[in-house]
Amino acid sequence: MVDQSIVKEWIAKGEEDYSFARANLEEGKNFFAQICFHFQQAAEKYLKAFIIASDLEFRRVHDLGLLLKVCSAKDTSFEDLKETCEFLSAFYIEARYPVHWPTNFSSQEAQKALKAAAKCLILLEPASGVEPPTC
| Per-residue pLDDT reduced to its tens digit, 5-53 | 999 999 999 999 999 999 999 999 899 999 999 999 999 999 999 999 9
Domain positions in the chain: 4-128
Q: What is the reported pLDDT for 126?
A: 61
CATH 3.90.550.10 correct for 4-128 = no
Question: Do 133 and 15 contact (CB within 8 A), yes or no?
Answer: yes
CA-wise closest residue to 117 among 47, 31, 25: 47
Q: DSSP string of the chain?
A: ---HHHHHHHHHHHHHHHHHHHHHHHTT-S-HHHHHHHHHHHHHHHHHHHHHHTTPPP-----HHHHHHHHHHH-GGGGGGHHHHHHHHHHHHHTTS--SS----SHHHHHHHHHHHHHHHHHHHHHHS-PPPP-
| Per-residue pLDDT reduced to its tens digit, 77-132 | 999 999 999 999 989 987 777 776 667 789 999 999 999 999 988 887 665 555 54
